[in-house]
Amino acid sequence: MLSTQSEEVELSKKHEEILGKRAVLLLQMESLYKQQKCTRKQQVKMSHVAHERNAQLLQDLQKIENRLGTKQLPHPDILTLETRYWASVEENIPEWERFLLGGGSTMDLENKGQTLLQPEVIHFTICYSSMI
């Protein structure tokens, strides 16, 4: 009878120990659940903020695309002037190369430069500058 009573006391101690561990584990689980719930709320909040930011960025990009799509072309006279300028540059590249490499004189370039500006180009340039 003594052994059963000591066994019963031992079992009771183990039971109390198990109940104590269970209570600690329940508290830990509850604390972890609260942390996860709080973390989830923060993630949802950050997700909404990110969605709003992305929507704003998409709107900004759309506005930029619209502005780029509606960009006005320069005046036809300006396009003509630009085309003539680049044609002149391409035409004079060999002479500039000779000059820069030491084979030509500055006089050749100065004489060539005087023939490049035609009266209508000068008139257009002056008129366009006064419009700006």
Euclidean distance between CA atoms 131 and 98, whole angstroms: 39
72 phi and psi angles, rounded to 5 deg: -80, 145
The share of the chain scoring above pLDDT 90, in percent, equals 52
pLDDT digits (tens, 9 = 90+) for 58-68: 999 999 988 88
Confidence of residue 69 (pLDDT cuts 50, 70, 90): confident
pLDDT digits (tens, 9 = 90+) for 87-107: 999 998 888 888 888 766 655
Euclidean distance between CA atoms 44 and 36, whole angstroms: 12
Give which of 80, 79, 82, 107 is closest to 95, Cα–Cα: 107
Structure tokens at 48: 């909404």
Per-residue confidence (pLDDT) for residue 15, from 0 to 100: 97
Euclidean distance between CA atoms 125 and 129, whole angstroms: 6
